[in-house]
Amino acid sequence: MKPSRPSIVVLVVGLAFTAAGAWAAARSDDHNEDRLLQVQTRQAASVIGAAVSTIVEPLHTSLEVAAATTASAPAFAQTMSPDVGPRKTFISAALLRADDGRTVASLGEPAHLTEQPSTEHEILDEAATSKTYVVRGFPKQRPRYIGYALRSGPYIVYAERAIPTNRQVPVESNSAFADLHFATYLGPDTRTPNVATTDRPLSDLPLTGRTARTTIPFGNTVITLVAAPDGHLGGSLGQQLPWIIFGLGVVLSLLAALATHLLVVRRRKAESDAVMIASLYEEVNTLYGEQRSIAFALQRALLPQRDPTIPQLDIASRYVAGARGVDVGGDWYSIIQIDERHFAFVVGDVMGRGVDAATTMARLRYTLRAYLLEGHEPAVALDMTGQQLDLVEDGHFATLLVGIGDLETGQLTIANAGHLDPLLLSRDGARYLPTLRGPALGIVHGSVYRTIDVRLEPGSTLLLFTDGLVERRGESIDEGLERLRALVGDGPAELEPLVDTMLRDLIGADAEDDTVLLAFRWQPDPVTVPSAP
């Protein structure tokens, strides 16, 4: 059967929009990957910088002890022995006089620096005049040891640290390098002979493809860090989304073209075959339902698949897709453990719907997550994340409520970018926390967000939600907030039944807008709860 002209037009237009959507998703994903790589590389550089400070600290301490004890050899040995020896920070250490280089005391293996007299004189002479500690790798090509020399007053402390022969170091799954391949170089030169550590065989260097590079101060020189992603940093959905959009677009374009062709044919036969027209409407309704199911599946894929297990916290969360339209929404939530003592929580709502809103949501979610894991306070993380969004350029703005909690004390620090205040449930009843609400992200750049500090009582529960839970057509938002407060005051004590009750009684089965609900209850071990002052 020869296709009709309208069906060909629909197919061409559909394929054009599909290609444009897939290209936009791919470009956005590529941009997000670059940003995430830069963020994680800076995070890894911060970890290296902190480690460098830890390595050099014993040298400063030993010089202070030497000055206080007039270069007592036993005192120097006692000070440095915890850090010198096999599988320790240094393999050797020595205290020398700055005027003549004479050794006062030494620990560990014989210093390998003495095997190269010219290098030894060079390092000690430079340490005598340098304002910081002096670092030198030797031999210069493929160094096997790193020497540290630091002077204070009449004394110089010199220590050596061994580099693994194959330069490879293991990477822990929860470290800043977990999602990266990396190589560190002693100095600014990133040629393979200068590599210090890497997680790859030397034959795989230099790292290629998408890479990020940064430097970390290292005494009188620098450590150069080069990182490449180990897979897709933004998750599998961001990588597959262009292909999903393309595949669905092709299928829907073909179906739309087929439907158009059938409409043309059946319109010509409408007077004689009304049954065929009714069948066509039924087919279109089926396609509509399938498209809505696909949109819902995409939205669920962008949200956490399950709540994390965080010690001393009971967590419950829900996402309910609204019945309005078939587009993907921008509501999201997240709760993560930052370290053994702290956790972070976020509830956000990107205004608008569709793939752009979902893409913006994913970008904000992973950017904010990276800043929180990097150790930034909620207000600072909000301001930095806000640089990623502009209402004029992106067509979206977002409201967010961000907080960091202390698992030992129950202390919460909360910042608000135009979002609804959270509801606190304690033995004194239910009340909304009066946060210092700043502008939504994307509206005003360079905003300085302010935080509030709240200390939870053991057993207290904090509820965070988006406006779909409380907004009703024809009534003010205050009426919905009061309805929620009254409901939770009489609700079940257990967390999971409580959130189910809220969803059942407040939105039912016909919610117009998307709804996100995140609740957590602090249940500390009685031994760890700080006593009242």
* pLDDT tens-digit readout, 184-202: 988 888 887 788 888 888 8
Between the alpha carbon of residue 470 and those of residues 262, 482, 515, the distances in Å are 44, 9, 9
Copy the structure tokens of residue 117: 């007299």
Predicted confidence at residue 287, as pLDDT, reads 47
Q: For residues 371 and 363, what is the distance between their CA atoms, to the nearest angstrom?
A: 12
Torsion of CA 472, 473, 475, 481, to 10 degrees: 20
User: DSSP string spanning 150-214?
Assistant: EEETTEEEEEEEEPPTT-B----TTSTTTTEEEEEEESS--SGGGEEEESS-GGGPSP-SS-EEE
CB 78 within 8 A of CB 58: no
Q: Has residue 403 been placed in a domain? A: yes
User: Using 50, 70 and 90 to split pLDDT, how confident is the model at 272?
Assistant: low
User: Using 50, 70 and 90 to split pLDDT, how confident is the model at 383?
Assistant: very high
Q: Has residue 213 been placed in a domain? A: no
Query: For 45-66, what is the mean pLDDT?
Result: 89
Q: In the predicted model, is pLDDT for residue 491 greater than 80? A: no
Q: Has residue 194 been placed in a domain? A: no
Q: Which of 283-287, 322-326, 329-333 has the lowest mean pLDDT?
A: 283-287
Q: In the predicted model, is pLDDT for residue 477 greater than 80? A: yes
Query: For 475-482, what is the mean pLDDT?
Result: 91
Question: DSSP character for 443?
Answer: T
Read off the pTM: 0.46
Predicted confidence at residue 532, as pLDDT, reads 44
Predicted confidence at residue 241, as pLDDT, reads 80
Q: Which residue has the higher pLDDT, 346 or 174?
A: 346
Q: In the predicted model, is pLDDT for residue 303 greater than 70? A: no
Between the alpha carbon of residue 458 and those of residues 3, 15, 392, 529, the distances in Å are 70, 57, 45, 8
Q: Which residue has the higher pLDDT, 142 or 481?
A: 481
Q: Has residue 323 been placed in a domain? A: yes
Grouping H, G, I as helix, E, B as strand and the rest as coil, residue 435 is coil
| pLDDT tens digits along 146-187 | 999 999 889 999 999 988 888 877 766 667 677 888 899 888
Predicted confidence at residue 448, as pLDDT, reads 81
Residue finishing a domain among 129, 162, 195: 162
Q: Which residue has the higher pLDDT, 379 or 262?
A: 379
Predicted confidence at residue 431, as pLDDT, reads 94
Counting residues of the chain whose pLDDT is more than 90, the rounded percentage is: 36
Query: For 102-127, what is the mean pLDDT?
Result: 83
Q: Which residue has the higher pLDDT, 394 or 133?
A: 133
Q: In the predicted model, is pLDDT for residue 381 greater than 90? A: yes
| pLDDT tens digits along 437-450 | 999 998 887 778 99
Preceding peptide of 311 cis, ω within 30°: no
Q: Tell me the pLDDT of the chain averaged across its residues.
A: 84
Q: Has residue 506 been placed in a domain? A: yes
The domain spanning residue 496 has which CATH number? 3.60.40.10
Q: Which of 33-42, 64-73, 301-310, 330-339 has the lowest mean pLDDT?
A: 301-310
Q: Which of 240-244, 366-370, 428-432 has the lowest mean pLDDT?
A: 240-244
Copy the structure tokens of residue 283: 């087919």
The domain spanning residue 139 has which CATH number? 3.30.450.30
Q: How many domains does the chain have?
A: 2
Query: For 224-230, what is the mean pLDDT?
Result: 91
The residue behind tokens 């407060």 is: 485
User: Using 50, 70 and 90 to split pLDDT, how confident is the model at 276?
Assistant: low
Q: Has residue 266 been placed in a domain? A: no
Residue finishing a domain among 146, 162, 178: 162
Q: Which of 298-307, 309-318, 343-352, 513-522 has the lowest mean pLDDT?
A: 298-307
Q: For residues 122 and 126, what is the distance between their CA atoms, to the nearest angstrom?
A: 6
User: Using 50, 70 and 90 to split pLDDT, how confident is the model at 518?
Assistant: very high
Q: For residues 103 and 337, what is the distance between their CA atoms, to the nearest angstrom?
A: 49
Predicted confidence at residue 274, as pLDDT, reads 57
Which residues lie below 8 Å from residue 9, measured CB to CB, with a gap of 6+? none
Q: Which of 290-294, 398-402, 525-529 has the lowest mean pLDDT?
A: 290-294
Q: Has residue 514 been placed in a domain? A: yes
The domain containing residue 515 runs over which residues?
304-522
In 3D space, the residue among 258, 262, 260, 255 whose CA is nearest the CA of residue 279 turns out to be: 262
Which residues lie below 8 Å from residue 509, measured CB to CB, with a gap of 6+? none
User: Using 50, 70 and 90 to split pLDDT, how confident is the model at 269?
Assistant: confident
Q: For residues 483 and 502, what is the distance between their CA atoms, to the nearest angstrom?
A: 10
Question: Residue 490 — left, alpha, or beta (φ > 0 → left; ψ -120 to 50 → alpha)?
Answer: alpha
